[in-house]
């Protein structure tokens, strides 16, 4: 659905994207995660042909991103936290305006979405709160049943109730749609995304399916028979190694249940008990972000 | 979709277009009143003000029109909608012709006809002036608005251009008579230089509009605006 090859984007001297390559499979919910300034929004703007890449190439729906035309935009829904819509039009007037541009606009679906998101048709866009604007953007992106839905930081600044409403509507309509979502609100992505790509300062640190990622990350607590201390030679797959009392803690980034006990025993000795807990995406992200900041180990 | 985009712009800007048209009609009403009040300086000054204000108001209206779907920037909703760039440009041109230029044409025609000229020549004169204004003023404003994102940028850019022209004029004219720089000034062939200027602006503005609407090359277009300004002020 989306193929990105060695994508670079420079703004003056600043390299916002530095050779990104990743693939968004058809039917997936692909999450681009990373801290503010990591390059998520720039990537999406390049994919939508809003920005032109400095180097490299991206194809969306089989078309070079530089050549995305109304034909492709008929099949792509886009929701962004920074989307300028005509402020003086009402919600209803703007939907009326957009409808004829699309080859397949389902009016019944539009009404359903509007009702479920509780969008007041007669209210001016300028009078909508941030949350309502995001719901409005979603209501404008779904009625033509896009094959690809691109969401750029859709949860930023939304209160929990609006987030839930937004997410519920998105999941209700998702169907066979491919979804590309950029966010640092990882709690919202957890459980929705099927694939994750982690960006840091314009570089892709990794891309992986969610099941592989959550499968290989474990928060490991080792209870020792004596005072714990970090081993002299920390294995590269161990991150965030800490010792407190007789407990040694670390994040294992290449976890496999078999043989962990023996490996740990050979490294530190005197192991009484090993606990390896699965980690939520948020913890994986913060661990990786910290590791990237402290020296790039992952 | 041209008519569809046009209707949206009318819905958003009809009040401004009506206000600008009212200015033109007020100017004509004053022009028709003036001969009956010779020596009324206040009335004459008001008319001059309306004349200048009319041009600025046209510029403001055209800028507001283009900024409804501004070209530079990365946040505009229309960029991610299946809107044909050609339709967008033609919708803006349609608005300019029908809601900016048509009221001027009607006002000019009324002025000539009410002054006592025959209807045919009155209409011809009004239409000629409208075409000249369309090329010289409207198209230039359209092109200029297309390289700016919002009103603040447009005003800043406008002020910059004004000062560049003023400085250029002072530098070029210092110590020389106008005739030295404009050898055709006041002669029978002055129309040639005027037509050349008109043609330069028409071609330049059209190229700028094409560059911006179809390729969104704002930086290049902004340099082109500067180059066009210099070209238009070259001594001929």
- Rounded distance between C-alpha atoms, residue A193 and residue A76, angstroms: 18
Choose between B129 and A285: higher pLDDT: B129
Q: Does residue A221 have a pLDDT over 50?
A: yes
- Rounded distance between C-alpha atoms, residue B54 and residue B44, angstroms: 15
Choose between B88 and A13: higher pLDDT: B88
Choose between A294 and A100: higher pLDDT: A100
The answer to whether A252 and A218 have CB atoms below 8 angstroms apart is yes
Residue A297: predicted pLDDT = 46
- Rounded distance between C-alpha atoms, residue A97 and residue A91, angstroms: 10
- Determine contact: B79 vs chain A, CB below 8 A: yes
Residue B92: predicted pLDDT = 97
Q: What is the pTM of this model?
A: 0.86
The answer to whether A218 and A255 have CB atoms below 8 angstroms apart is yes
Token pair for residue A155?
């949860």
CB–CB contact A85 B77 (8 Å) = yes
Count residue pairs from A and B with Cβ separation < 8 A.
49
∠ CA A154-A155-A159, nearest 5°, is 140
Average pLDDT for A241-258: 85
From first to last of the 236 residues of chain B, give the pLDDT tens digit. 999 999 999 999 999 999 999 998 988 888 887 766 666 777 778 888 888 888 899 999 999 999 999 999 999 999 999 999 999 999 999 999 999 999 999 999 999 999 889 999 999 999 999 998 998 889 999 999 999 999 999 999 999 888 888 887 787 777 666 556 667 777 888 888 888 888 888 899 999 999 999 999 999 999 998 888 888 776 55
Question: In which element (H, E) is residue B200 found?
Answer: helix B190-210
Q: Which of B82, B87, B151, B219 to mutate to test the interface with A (most CBs of A within 10 A)?
A: B82
The answer to whether A248 and A268 have CB atoms below 8 angstroms apart is yes
CB–CB contact A48 B80 (8 Å) = yes
Task: Give me the residue spans of the domains in chain B.
Answer: 2-232
Averaged pLDDT of chain A: 88
Residue A197, SS3?
strand
Residue B37: predicted pLDDT = 66
Query: Which residues fall within 8 angstroms of residue A16, CB to CB, at 6 or more apart?
Result: A9, A10, A39, A42, A202
CB–CB contact B4 A50 (8 Å) = no
ipTM above 0.90, yes or no: no
Residue B15: predicted pLDDT = 96
- Determine contact: A11 vs chain B, CB below 8 A: no
Backbone angles phi, psi at A283, to 5 degrees: -70, -40
- Determine contact: A105 vs chain B, CB below 8 A: no
Question: Distance between alpha carbon B11 and the CA centroid of its chain, in Å?
Answer: 22
The answer to whether A24 and A10 have CB atoms below 8 angstroms apart is no
Distance from CA of B31 to the nearest CA of A (A): 36
Distance from CA of B109 to the nearest CA of A (A): 34
∠ CA A178-A184-A188, nearest 5°, is 60
Q: What's the pLDDT band for A126 if we cut at 50, 70, 90?
A: very high
- Rounded distance between C-alpha atoms, residue A208 and residue A216, angstroms: 11
Interface of A with B in 114-143 (CB under 8 A): 140
- Rounded distance between C-alpha atoms, residue A140 and residue B81, angstroms: 10
The answer to whether B78 and B72 have CB atoms below 8 angstroms apart is no
Residue B176: predicted pLDDT = 62
Token pair for residue B155?
């005003």
Q: The dihedral of CA B222, A46, A87, A37: what is its sign?
A: negative
∠ CA A62-A68-A70, nearest 5°, is 115
Token pair for residue A180?
């590309």
The answer to whether A146 and A116 have CB atoms below 8 angstroms apart is no
pLDDT digits (tens, 9 = 90+) for A18-49: 999 999 999 999 999 888 888 999 999 999 99
- Rounded distance between C-alpha atoms, residue B142 and residue B45, angstroms: 29
Query: Which residues fall within 8 angstroms of residue B58, CB to CB, at 6 or more apart?
Result: B20, B100, B104, B137, B138, B141
- Rounded distance between C-alpha atoms, residue A103 and residue A99, angstroms: 9
Task: Give me the residue spans of the domains in chain A.
Answer: 2-213, 218-278
> C-alpha distances in angstroms, A241 versus A236, A252, A284?
11, 9, 14
pLDDT digits (tens, 9 = 90+) for A80-94: 988 899 999 999 999
pLDDT digits (tens, 9 = 90+) for B65-124: 999 999 999 999 999 999 999 999 999 999 999 999 999 999 999 999 998 899 999 999
- Rounded distance between C-alpha atoms, residue A207 and residue A24, angstroms: 10
- Rounded distance between C-alpha atoms, residue B6 and residue A296, angstroms: 54
- Rounded distance between C-alpha atoms, residue A43 and residue A15, angstroms: 12
Residue A236: predicted pLDDT = 83
Burial class (CB in 10 A: 0-12, 13-18, 19+), B200: middle
Alpha helices in A77-157 (DSSP H): 91-98, 107-116, 130-141
- Rounded distance between C-alpha atoms, residue B203 and residue A14, angstroms: 36
Question: In which element (H, E) is residue B143 found?
Answer: helix B139-146
Residue A186: predicted pLDDT = 78
The answer to whether A162 and A131 have CB atoms below 8 angstroms apart is yes
Query: Which residues fall within 8 angstroms of residue A275, CB to CB, at 6 or more apart?
Result: A220, A221, A222, A223
Question: Distance between alpha carbon B94 and the CA centroid of its chain, in Å?
Answer: 14
Q: Does residue A171 have a pLDDT over 50?
A: yes
Which residues from B are below 8 Å from A154, CB to CB? none
- Rounded distance between C-alpha atoms, residue A266 and residue A57, angstroms: 47
Q: Which of A12, A50, A67 to mutate to test the interface with B (most CBs of B within 10 A)?
A: A50
pLDDT digits (tens, 9 = 90+) for A199-218: 988 999 888 898 888 888 89
Protein fold of A2-213: Rossmann fold (3.40.50)
Query: Which residues fall within 8 angstroms of residue A151, CB to CB, at 6 or more apart?
Result: A79, A80, A170, A179, A180, A181, A182, A183
State the Cα torsion A173-A176-A177-A180 to the nearest 10°: 110
Query: Which residues fall within 8 angstroms of residue A238, CB to CB, at 6 or more apart?
Result: A250, A251, A252, A253
Burial class (CB in 10 A: 0-12, 13-18, 19+), A293: exposed
CB–CB contact B81 A98 (8 Å) = yes
């Amino acid at each position: 659905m989306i193929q990105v090859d060695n994508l670079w984007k420079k703004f003056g001297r600043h390299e916002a994207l530095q050779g990104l390559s990743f693939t968004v499979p058809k039917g997936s919910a692909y999450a681009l995660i990373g801290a503010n300034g990591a390059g998520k929004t720039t990537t999406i703007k390049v994919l939508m042909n809003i920005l032109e890449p400095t180097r490299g190439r991206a194809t969306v729906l089989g078309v070079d991103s530089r050549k995305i035309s109304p034909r492709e935009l008929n099949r792509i829904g886009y929701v962004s936290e920074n989307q300028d819509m005509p402020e003086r039009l009402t919600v209803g007037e703007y939907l009326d305006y957009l409808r004829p541009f699309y080859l397949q606009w389902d009016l019944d679906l539009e009404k359903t979405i509007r009702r479920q998101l509780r969008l007041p048709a007669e209210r001016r866009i300028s009078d909508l709160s941030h949350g309502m604007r995001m719901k409005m953007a979603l209501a404008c992106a779904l009625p033509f049943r896009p094959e690809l839905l691109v969401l750029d930081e859709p949860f930023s600044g939304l209160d929990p109730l609006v987030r839930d409403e937004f997410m519920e509507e998105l999941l209700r309509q998702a169907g066979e749609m491919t979804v590309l979502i950029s966010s640092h609100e990882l709690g919202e992505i957890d459980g929705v995304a099927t694939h994750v790509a982690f960006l840091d300062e314009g570089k892709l640190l990794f891309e992986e399916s969610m099941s592989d990622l959550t499968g290989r990350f474990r928060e490991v607590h080792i209870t020792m028979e004596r005072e714990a201390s970090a081993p002299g030679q920390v294995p590269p797959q161990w991150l965030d190694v800490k010792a407190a009392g007789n407990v040694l803690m670390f994040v294992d980034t290449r976890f496999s249940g078999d043989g962990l006990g023996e490996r740990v025993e050979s490294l530190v000795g005197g192991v009484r008990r090993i606990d390896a807990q699965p980690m939520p995406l948020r913890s994986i992200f913060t661990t990786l972000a910290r590791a990237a900041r402290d020296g790039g180990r992952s | 979709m041209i008519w569809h985009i046009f209707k949206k712009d009318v819905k958003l800007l009809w009040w401004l277009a009506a206000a600008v048209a009212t200015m033109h009609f007020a100017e004509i009403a004053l022009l028709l009143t003036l001969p009956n009040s010779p020596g009324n300086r206040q009335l004459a000054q008001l008319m001059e003000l309306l004349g200048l204000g009319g041009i600025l108001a046209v510029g403001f209206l055209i800028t507001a029109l283009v900024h409804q779907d501004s070209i530079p920037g990365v946040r505009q909703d229309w960029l991610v909608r299946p809107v044909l760039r050609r339709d967008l440009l033609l919708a803006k041109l349609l608005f300019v012709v029908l809601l900016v230029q048509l009221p001027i044409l009607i006002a000019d025609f009324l002025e000539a006809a009410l002054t006592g000229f025959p209807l045919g020549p009155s209409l011809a004169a009004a239409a000629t002036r409208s075409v000249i204004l369309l090329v010289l003023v409207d198209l230039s404003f359209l092109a200029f608005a297309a390289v700016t994102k919002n009103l603040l940028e447009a005003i800043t850019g406008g002020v910059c251009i004004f000062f560049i022209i003023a400085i250029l004029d002072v530098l070029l004219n210092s110590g020389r008579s106008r005739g030295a720089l404009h050898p055709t000034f006041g002669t029978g062939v002055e129309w040639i230089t005027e037509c050349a200027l008109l043609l330069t602006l028409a071609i330049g503005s059209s190229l700028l509009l094409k560059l911006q609407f179809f390729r969104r090359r704002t930086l290049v277009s902004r340099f082109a605006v500067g180059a066009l300004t210099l070209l238009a002020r070259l001594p001929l």
